[in-house]
Homo-oligomer: A and B are copies of this chain.
């Protein structure tokens, strides 16, 4: 018996799916216990259908209305690969409501409307799987569900945005400016003409929303994930980091403190020996700290046609297997706890402050007093004269909490003569 599926959309990722189904058919049948057959593909309109047919897609059954798929009783699984919120959301809801299982790679949709969709899937006893939504080809969600079910995760760190990581790699390894790196990323097609979601940490924050459910059982909202991007990072910041033994990366983190969960995305100094420090270019990695395994890392491509399609097909196989076993419909992730967010005073980390000061002897003392007033102790101070009139002072603190951090930043900004150039979270302690 073969299981019939439909694709919504036939862009880059979607067209990787028939490739995998064909190249790997024997193995797939052993894993899924059935053949898997794409019987319908939804495209936008007649014009697109004709374009695809003309381009050699005549072995696909293209349709132009969702009803042709929803009303087709033979189709068990709908694979949504259109992207964006609408009409994807509407189509997924309708598919779930008519009892079809859904696989999607739509991260934005899941990060913002995931809870609603999961509830509809649950009510209709159908599966909604989305391994490809986080870190494309890295099988991180299913690994958290299955293999780390036995473990208690205390912190998760991720380099999960390929575009910004590509740019930072160019800045760190080749001394490029932010602007040059962005322009290269756009030319290579890694960054869109409006790069906001990538460079401002929004895309990474979406992924933290989804990862928090799988790693900590808590449904953090997008608004709960503070995000700061890489726009302000200068070649000088990168150089200072290197001098102090660090690499700059845009890191998403989720941590369980004693009062609750804290999630954020922020430019971070990683010690050079940290496994995430050598994740370069468009590659992604998720690093997990836990009471059982201790430390583990999952590394791979964060995007791309075949990596993403591989994760999508892994989801399809799992659903087909469960259809055959008669156990389909359980939630992708069953780990659930009440959401409790951390208190600001429990969210602690060392920080790096890069400050421009008048180049006179007493300035470091004035700076030290500001930190001292907020009860923040210092780990490292690096002073670099710049033009004779001003100096650049880089201070790495011991752990500070969010309240202390804000107070220090406010005071630095309010003190005449000082200019706070940048702040970085520092991994350590």
Q: Which A residues form the contact surface with B (CB < 8 A)?
A: 16, 20, 23-24, 26-28, 30-32, 131, 137-139, 142-143, 145-152, 217, 273, 275, 278, 280, 290-301, 304, 306-307, 309-314, 316-318, 325-327, 334-337
Question: Could you list 20 further interchain pairs (A-B, Cβ under 8 angstroms) beyond the known A20-B150, A24-B292, A30-B217?
Answer: A20-B151, A24-B150, A24-B151, A27-B149, A32-B149, A139-B143, A146-B146, A146-B318, A150-B316, A275-B278, A292-B307, A293-B300, A293-B306, A294-B307, A295-B301, A296-B299, A297-B299, A297-B300, A298-B298, A325-B325
Contact, CB under 8 Å: B278 / A151: no
Residues of B within 8 A of A310 (CB): 148, 150-151, 290, 292-293
Contact, CB under 8 Å: A150 / B28: yes
Closest residue to A216 on the B side, CB-wise? Answer: B27
Closest residue to A279 on the B side, CB-wise? Answer: B275
Contact pick for A147, options B290, B296, B301, B311, CB 8 Å: B311
CB distance from A174 to the nearest CB of B (A): 14
Closest residue to A293 on the B side, CB-wise? Answer: B137
Given the known interface contacts A142-B146, A317-B149, the answer about A306 and B292 at a Cβ–Cβ threshold of 8 Å is yes
Residues of B within 8 A of A280 (CB): 273
Given the known interface contacts A24-B150, A314-B149, the answer about A334 and B30 at a Cβ–Cβ threshold of 8 Å is yes
Given the known interface contacts A143-B147, A147-B143, A318-B146, the answer about A27 and B152 at a Cβ–Cβ threshold of 8 Å is yes
Contact pick for A309, options B131, B292, B300, CB 8 Å: B292
Contact, CB under 8 Å: B306 / A152: no
* Residue among A143, A147, A152, A306 with the highest chain B CB neighbour number at 10 A: A147
Residues of B within 8 A of A295 (CB): 300-301
A131 to B334, CA, bound (A): 22
Contact, CB under 8 Å: A20 / B292: yes
Closest residue to A315 on the B side, CB-wise? Answer: B150
Contact, CB under 8 Å: B152 / A147: no
A280 to B274, CA, bound (A): 11
A313 to B147, CA, bound (A): 9
Residues of B within 8 A of A137 (CB): 292-294, 296
Residues of B within 8 A of A32 (CB): 149
Contact pick for A27, options B16, B138, B217, CB 8 Å: B217
Residues of B within 8 A of A149 (CB): 27-28, 31-32, 314, 317
Contact pick for A296, options B31, B217, B292, B300, CB 8 Å: B300
Contact pick for A306, options B27, B291, B307, CB 8 Å: B291
A395 to B293, CA, bound (A): 41
A313 to B335, CA, bound (A): 16
**Listed A/B pairs (21) with beta-carbon separation below 8 Å:** A16-B292, A24-B291, A24-B292, A27-B149, A27-B335, A28-B150, A30-B334, A31-B335, A137-B292, A137-B294, A138-B293, A139-B296, A142-B147, A143-B143, A151-B310, A278-B278, A292-B309, A294-B300, A296-B298, A297-B300, A327-B327
Contact, CB under 8 Å: A30 / B335: yes
A247 to B138, CA, bound (A): 26
Residues of B within 8 A of A325 (CB): 325, 327
Residues of B within 8 A of A292 (CB): 16, 20, 24, 137, 306-307, 309-310, 313
The 4 residue pairs across chains A and B that have the minimum distance between CB atoms: A139-B147, A292-B310, A296-B300, A150-B313
Closest residue to A278 on the B side, CB-wise? Answer: B278
Residues of B within 8 A of A145 (CB): 31
Contact pick for A148, options B26, B306, B314, B318, CB 8 Å: B314
Residues of B within 8 A of A31 (CB): 145, 149-150, 334-335
Closest residue to A138 on the B side, CB-wise? Answer: B296
